[in-house]
Structure 1
Amino acid sequence: MESYTQYFWKVIANDGQGNSVEGPVWGFTTLLVNLPPYAPDNPMPIDGAENQSIETDISWDCTDPENDPMAYLVYFGKGALPGEYISVQLETTFDPGTLEPNTEYFWQIQVYDYTGNFTEGPVWSFTTEAE
């Protein structure tokens, strides 16, 4: 059944002798089902990239099945996965500021649509260039 759609039915009883009785028309409307956004993908820098500039921005792609507006929680940091919660934003690019040289950074995006559905993306990483 389609979401947020009206359906109607009626029962007609036949006795096999050519007699029939019709019941009332009944109906219902299905609820609107909102699906969560798809997982973020296409990370830049690519996962596992090395020798990235200490001025690197991170970016990703993301879509929603119903084209709902989305917001992104950005987790970014060194060491423990996926890093510290850093930002809530509407854009798919994040500037973490000047990074430390020769350091591995980990990041993850959680995407939310306006109904509160969310999807957690994979943890990605990259390493900055040496000094």
Structure 2
Amino acid sequence: MILSSPKSNSGLLLLIVILFSCGDHTTKNDVVPVAPSEFHATALSSNRVYLSWQDNSTDETGFDIYRRPLELVFWTKVVRLPFNIETFVDSTAADSTAYMYYVSAFNAAGSSEPSNYSTVTTPSIGHAPEIPFDQIPWNGADTVAINTMLSWRCSDPDGDTLVFDVKLGFNQYPEVIRQNWPDTTLYMTLLRPDTTYYWQVIAIDPHNHRVASPIWHFRTLSPGHPPNVPINPVPFNGVDSISLNPTMSWSCTDIDGDTLVYDIKFSTSFIPALIHQNWPDTSFSMTGLQQNTVYYWQVIAIDRYNHHTPSPVWWFRTITTIK
């Protein structure tokens, strides 16, 4: 029998302790945390969402909460929280929006798998605008000038001030040409002639409620031809002894058969001044002219395409004395 001394037993114990301490082992943060579970999202108000979950790990450093609107694919980190937290209120949500949320735990080794996903829809604030209507040009109009005014009507049941996104294009998927437009009219210039345009208006209130009109369409006029030069002036050019209350007349035609209007110019200067716009007739009466005075006049023919054709500048002299 070999008996060991207390000294030799102490050495053996020390050796065992050294071997154990040098063996393979892991520390608290060498492994990513276990994913949280039982994750729930509940809308508290139009912009506050209550989030809760179960913490399944004892070695996390904290939690990251992510969110995305359902119509988007990209996630946004809402907040990073410390460890041992199991509730949070997200107060940055938008009203009338459907969201998806998840939470993950993290430590020095990395992040856990996502928790289960939870969806929630925040309630709206107020009411959405009415659908825009009463549009001009009317839907299907086919004689629209290339310089034209787009207009519409729209109201809001809460009396909110509205802005509008206006879309215009060459197919049934028009593109936005104005964002947050503050008016219900928009003047368009230099549209393409003989072209079908599609347009739409989206009403937006301060709570970001968005309501779209139907997609309307109109067709612009063909370029056409300008009117012919106005002729056959009465009084005849250069005549004397004209009444102090004359009726002036002329004739004019248009190769496209367009209805014409006239700008009328009249004065004692060789460069007569404009006295009437868009006159619908080919005669115009003057009264109270001065005796023995030369008057100059001119008419400018205008068609529906806004083509302008001026006459020559004509003149006449009024009577010398009144008998």
Q: Please report the TM-score for the alignment, with normalisation by the length of structure 2.
A: 0.30
Q: 2:265 — aligned with what?
A: 75
Q: 1:38 — aligned with what?
A: 228
Shift of 1:33: 4.1
| Deviations 1:109-128, CA, capped at 9 Å, x for gaps | 11100111110110000000
Q: 219, 228, 240: which is aligned to 1:50?
A: 240
Find the residue that maps to 1:116 and give its secondary structure: coil
Aligned: 1:116 with 2:306? yes
In 2, the alpha carbon distance for the partners of 1:115 and 1:53 equals 36
In 2, the alpha carbon distance for the partners of 1:34 and 1:56 equals 35
For the Cα contact (< 8 Å) 1:105–1:126, is it kept in 2?
yes
In 2, the alpha carbon distance for the partners of 1:83 and 1:122 equals 11
**What amino acid is aligned across from residue 116 of structure 1 in structure 2?**
N
| Deviations 1:83-123, CA, capped at 9 Å, x for gaps | 11001200111112121110000001111001111101100
In 2, the alpha carbon distance for the partners of 1:98 and 1:67 equals 36
Aligned: 1:97 with 2:290? no
| Deviations 1:19-57, CA, capped at 9 Å, x for gaps | xxxxxxxxxxxx944000000000000000111111111
For the Cα contact (< 8 Å) 2:248–2:284, is it kept in 1?
yes
Aligned: 1:65 with 2:265? no
**What amino acid is aligned across from residue 107 of structure 1 in structure 2?**
W
For the Cα contact (< 8 Å) 2:272–2:297, is it kept in 1?
yes
In 2, the alpha carbon distance for the partners of 1:67 and 1:98 equals 36
Find the residue that maps to 2:236 and give its secondary structure: coil
Find the residue that maps to 2:246 and give its secondary structure: coil
Max Rg structure: 2
What's the C-alpha RMSD, in Å, of the aligned pairs?
Answer: 1.5
In 2, the alpha carbon distance for the partners of 1:77 and 1:120 equals 16
In 2, the alpha carbon distance for the partners of 1:95 and 1:82 equals 20
Identity over aligned residues, as a percent?
Answer: 33
| Long gaps (5+) in structure 2 | 1-193, 195-220
For the Cα contact (< 8 Å) 2:267–2:297, is it kept in 1?
yes
Q: 2:273 — aligned with what?
A: 84
In 2, the alpha carbon distance for the partners of 1:37 and 1:101 equals 35
Moved over 6 A (4+): none
**What amino acid is aligned across from residue 124 of structure 1 in structure 2?**
W
For the Cα contact (< 8 Å) 1:82–1:108, is it kept in 2?
no
Aligned length: 101
For the Cα contact (< 8 Å) 1:36–1:64, is it kept in 2?
yes
